[in-house]
Structure 1
Amino acid sequence: MPVRLFVGNLPYDTTEAELREYFSAVGTLSFVQVAMDRETGKARGFGFVEFADRAQAEEAIRKFNNQPFKNRPLAINEARPKESSSPGRISSPPAPSFSRRPPTPNTDWIKDTSMAEPPLTKDFDSPSRRNRKQKSRDDRGENAPRGLKRKRKSGKRSWDDDDFYYD
């Protein structure tokens, strides 16, 4: 039964031919893949190799794990299968579209409706901001600090002798 190995910490300029040549010292490889980014087409820094025999795969792990390859120590272990989402699990929201129209809210992916935002409603019982009564000093209570009283001046400022202090 074939055994697939995960090869991590690969240099970004590694090719599949170089990886095949490096691992062929242990045994024959049935599969070699360097993971590439879909959008940029550049290597992602990891890959997979597959041996037909389990003994060869274990030997490759013992021989090459934490050993330098192009001045970088490789991280090699047996590859795990991709995780599939379980039926009770909430899947991720759909990817955003880049159309000119704004996307319509789509909450079909939310299985638990308690997580969805409630519709916006106006509370008609609370007074609007304009109609709210401000608390006066008397409403604050007798023990509230009074602060300084200021004279309210209206109109133009008059310059009298009271405004200046002379030595």
Structure 2
Amino acid sequence: MASSSVPVHPARYLSVFLLLLVGVYLLVFLTGDKRAAPKLGIDLQGGTRVTLTARTPDGSAPSREALAQAQQIISARVNGLGVSGSEVVVDGDNLIITVPGNDGNEARNLGQTARLYIRPVLNSMPAQSGEPKPAPRQPAQPAPGQPAPGQPAPGQPAPAPGQPAP
């Protein structure tokens, strides 16, 4: 029995492999975010890191609940800035705020106490007591065959614009 020998063409296999490699390369870089550079994290792109130390009025260490509440409040403020990738972490008695980007002034202002202005009410009226007044009623419906108030009777011409109905 003679075995049939098929000639092997390594150049053909190599060209198919290179064509597939170029196709995958084009697919990755043409459908991606149009740049070959990776997105940098806050450790590489830079940003602002603010450390707030918690203090109580009597000088004792704050409770974990108080730190968790402060973390939630500051996280809400950071999220209000609309900055993605920001982080608020409790580290011992410290709150560490990390905000990416170059605008560190906003991150520094996050730890400031908010202002609440309370104004006295100078003019006030006491609430009226008693029963509420009923709403005005709709005018009575005309009897069948009678014209509605302000409308001409059937068979009579309509008044001219600007003149009252008879």
Please report the TM-score for the alignment, with normalisation by the length of structure 1. 0.26
CA radius of gyration, larger in: 2
Larger RCO (alpha carbons 8 Å, 6+ apart): 1
Q: Which of the two has greater helix per residue?
A: 2
Please report the TM-score for the alignment, with normalisation by the length of structure 2. 0.26
